[in-house]
Amino acid sequence: MGRNLGLRLLKLIPALIEVLSFLVFPACAVAATGAELIQANCVGCHIPDGEGRLSHIANQRKTPEGWLMTITRMQLIHQLNINALDSADPVSEMVKHLADAQGLAPAESQPFRYILERRLNTIENLDDEHFAGVCSRCHTGARAALQRRNEEEWTRLIHFHLGQYPSIEYSSGGRDREWFKFALNEVVPWLTEHFPLESPAWSEWREAAKPVQTGAWRVIGTMPGRGEFAGYIEAEETAKDRYTVKFRGEFDSGEALQGEGDAIVYTGYEWRASLSLGNGEYRQVLAGSADGATMQGRMYLLDHEETGMDLTATRIAGSRLLAVTPNRIRAGTSAQVRLSGFGLEGEITSDPGLKVISIVEQGTDGAVVEIQSDADAAPGVRTIKFGGSALSPALTVYPKIDYIKVLPEVAMARVGGNGGSQTPVNAAFEAWGWSNGADGAANTEDDLRIGVFPATWSVHAWDEVAEKGDDVRYAGVIDPATGVFTSPAAGPNPDRPGGVNNFGNLAVVAEVKDGETTVRGEAHLMVTVQRWNNPPLR
């Protein structure tokens, strides 16, 4: 009888599990929440305390990308098998919950947004030895700075690093000191002080009302290699913090870019959108303002993160003049410029020294006008007014271009493709014109930054070694009109001496015409091998 009872109980186990699941996670038309998914997937290792706070998890705050990396690490290292319950995308739901409940305030993420926006050629300025000597020798300082922990969790992170990467004490930057002692006694207190778990900024943001991003937005942007852009975003909320997005606009050249996609807002301000625009798949990473009036950041191609657009989206309400492009005019000349905004009506005027001499076209979203600058107009920025809306600075008046800065000044590109798993990483450059200030010397504080100029682009060997290796021939090509550098194929090249890879050390040259004069500027481009580990935060 006991054996038969046992068999009957075994047959009931599936039904019992179903009942228990119903008790823990009630079945309903709504999919499992992020909190429920965390309970289902995390409590096996992370023990709740008396208040239900999960060990380790409760004492950290991160960006959406940071929490995604944490969950991914649990899957890769600890073989976490995600229990989806009834969620179509359980990882996304867990990231959403964690970023909302334990994210970063806008003021906390702002200094380090370059890593979220995939600005690959950013050179960090980390003077503190705790960052430079410990954190940023293996990854960016921003990766650590976009976390918040209490002292216990910062200590655990040091232990984790040593356990997971035991060579950390002996590699460059570690073997010149007692690394473990320095990390525990010096770095942990510093991190706890500068990136604490609790902060006034987070307390205020956590309690603040969060704006809804539904509505129409005017977009102003610029993309190296393609120029200035003006367009629109239309966002419609389909569920809390989830939107369908329509995007449309055109560059000053007349080239259109449009499409649609979806967006999620994390932590009340972190806008992440996936869009199909033209023939490309784009990712938008924007930070919304506390009042819900603007969103600012970058969007980039998913398969070429180095190719992207800096953009600002302004909610359409009232009348605003947002941009004048190009935003420069040489004294004593005339230029055709485009004014972009919304709700614009009335007369177009400017500061003394500038005069609108003709209107090519005009509408409520902008105008194209011809502007004349007086020959004796003083160098500096000017205001443009469109009816009751004024933009300052709108135009920069300059006497001449004294020198060119090519940006980025130092860039890195990578070989790729050719049957490998990593696509090439290209690079794009801009030629920024400057005028000397009153002291007549270049690169001093009183110099006037004018703006971006069209240029003729070329490359040459950076040094004698690059010249001897014929790097210009093998290490990629630059578009002479746009400044976009295309990296070469990966793999040993049998046509190159020694059969080596297509790496190179190049100088990027911009030549800008300024009247009868040509002004040159240079930047440094290193073409190197693939990067195989490309997490969201690097």
Q: CATH number of the domain at 434, please.
A: 2.60.40.10
Question: What is the pLDDT at residue 529?
Answer: 96
Helix (H) or strand (E) holding 525: strand 517-528
Q: Which of 522, 457, 528 lies closest to 488, judged by CA?
A: 528
Count of domains in the chain?
5
| Tokens representing residue 188 in the block | 């942990």
Co-location of 495 and 421 in the same domain: yes
CA distances (Å), origin 370, targets 153, 168, 340, 431 = 61, 61, 15, 24
CA distances (Å), origin 511, targets 406, 481, 526 = 10, 11, 20
Domain boundary among 265, 291, 315: 315
For 54-92, b where at least 16 C-beta lie within 10 A, e where not — what string? bebbbbbbbbbbbbbbbbeebeeeeebeeebbebeebbb
Q: Would residue 257 be called left, alpha or beta, if left means φ above 0 and alpha means ψ between -120 and 50 degrees?
A: beta
Question: What is the pLDDT at residue 12?
Answer: 33
Co-location of 99 and 128 in the same domain: no
CA distances (Å), origin 207, targets 204, 213, 290, 406, 431 = 5, 18, 12, 44, 44
Taking the C-alpha atoms of residue 519 and residue 521, their distance in angstroms, rounded to an integer, is 7
- 244 domain residue, yes or no: yes
Q: Number of helices (H) and strands (E) in the chain: give both, helices first.
A: 14, 28
Co-location of 429 and 521 in the same domain: yes
Question: What is the pLDDT at residue 286?
Answer: 98
HEC-encoded secondary structure of 480-524: CCCCEEECCECCCCCCCHHHCCCCEEEEEEEEEEECCEEEEEEEE
- 276 domain residue, yes or no: yes
CA torsion sign for 182, 183, 188, 193 is: positive
- Residue 98 pLDDT more than 60? yes
Co-location of 71 and 130 in the same domain: no
Least confident range of 16-30, 197-211, 273-287, 504-518: 16-30
Neighbours of 528 (CB within 10 A): 16
Co-location of 374 and 269 in the same domain: no
Model pLDDT for residues 105-146, shown as the tens digit of each residue:
999 999 999 999 999 999 988 777 777 778 888 899 999 999
Taking the C-alpha atoms of residue 459 and residue 31, their distance in angstroms, rounded to an integer, is 55
Model pLDDT for residues 362-401, shown as the tens digit of each residue:
999 999 999 999 999 999 999 999 999 999 999 999 999 9
Co-location of 362 and 257 in the same domain: no
- 535 domain residue, yes or no: no
Domain boundary among 70, 103, 136: 103
Beta strand 410-414 with 304-315: parallel, antiparallel or unpaired? unpaired
Taking the C-alpha atoms of residue 134 and residue 168, their distance in angstroms, rounded to an integer, is 9
Question: What is the pLDDT at residue 170?
Answer: 86
Average pLDDT of span 439-468 = 97
What is the chain's mean pLDDT, rounded?
92
Co-location of 414 and 514 in the same domain: yes
- Residue 18 pLDDT more than 80? no
Taking the C-alpha atoms of residue 489 and residue 149, their distance in angstroms, rounded to an integer, is 43
Taking the C-alpha atoms of residue 98 and residue 34, their distance in angstroms, rounded to an integer, is 8
Residues 6+ apart with CB under 8 A from 321: 339, 340, 341, 344, 384, 385, 386, 389, 390, 391, 394
Question: What is the pLDDT at residue 362?
Answer: 96
- 511 domain residue, yes or no: yes
Q: Which amino acid is at 412?
A: M
Domain boundary among 77, 103, 129: 103
- 58 domain residue, yes or no: yes
Taking the C-alpha atoms of residue 125 and residue 61, their distance in angstroms, rounded to an integer, is 24
pLDDT band for position 241 (50/70/90)?
Answer: very high
Question: What is the pLDDT at residue 176?
Answer: 84
Question: What is the pLDDT at residue 126?
Answer: 77
For 172, counting Cβ atoms within 10 Å of its Cβ (0-12 exposed, 13-18 middle, 19+ buried), the class is exposed
- 533 domain residue, yes or no: no
Co-location of 89 and 13 in the same domain: yes
- 351 domain residue, yes or no: yes
Question: What is the pLDDT at residue 133?
Answer: 73
Co-location of 524 and 407 in the same domain: yes
Q: Which CATH number belongs to the domain containing residue 285 in this structure?
A: 2.40.128.120
Taking the C-alpha atoms of residue 433 and residue 441, their distance in angstroms, rounded to an integer, is 15
HEC-encoded secondary structure of 414-476: ECECCCCCCCCECEECEEEEEECCCCCCCCCCCCEEEEEECCEEEEEECCHHHHHCCHHHHCC
Q: Give the 3-state secondary structure of residue 140.
A: coil
Instruction: Find residue 173's DSSP bridge partners.
Output: none
- 364 domain residue, yes or no: yes
Taking the C-alpha atoms of residue 402 and residue 218, their distance in angstroms, rounded to an integer, is 35
Average pLDDT of span 201-215 = 96
For 441-472, b where at least 16 C-beta lie within 10 A, e where not — what string? eeeeeebbebbbbebebebebbeeebeebebb
Determine the structural domain holding residue 285 and report its residue range. Answer: 215-315
Angle at Cα 493 formed by Cα 492 and Cα 497, nearest 5°? 110
Residues 6+ apart with CB under 8 A from 467: 461
Question: What is the pLDDT at residue 6?
Answer: 38
pLDDT band for position 449 (50/70/90)?
Answer: very high
Q: Which of 109, 497, 419 lies closest to 266, judged by CA?
A: 109
Question: What is the pLDDT at residue 32?
Answer: 85
pLDDT band for position 14 (50/70/90)?
Answer: very low
Q: How does DSSP classify residue 345?
A: -
Taking the C-alpha atoms of residue 434 and residue 436, their distance in angstroms, rounded to an integer, is 7
Question: What is the pLDDT at residue 7?
Answer: 37
Question: What is the pLDDT at residue 13?
Answer: 33
Taking the C-alpha atoms of residue 479 and residue 107, their distance in angstroms, rounded to an integer, is 39
E strand segments, 351-423: 354-363, 366-373, 380-386, 389-398, 403-407, 410-414
CA distances (Å), origin 384, targets 395, 396, 520, 534 = 8, 11, 31, 44
**Helices in 102-186 by DSSP H: which ranges?**
106-109, 113-116, 129-130, 141-145, 151-164, 179-182
pTM: 0.90
Say what percent of the chain tops pLDDT 90: 87
Q: Which of 47, 60, 63 lies closest to 153, judged by CA?
A: 60
Question: What is the pLDDT at residue 431?
Answer: 98
pLDDT band for position 10 (50/70/90)?
Answer: very low
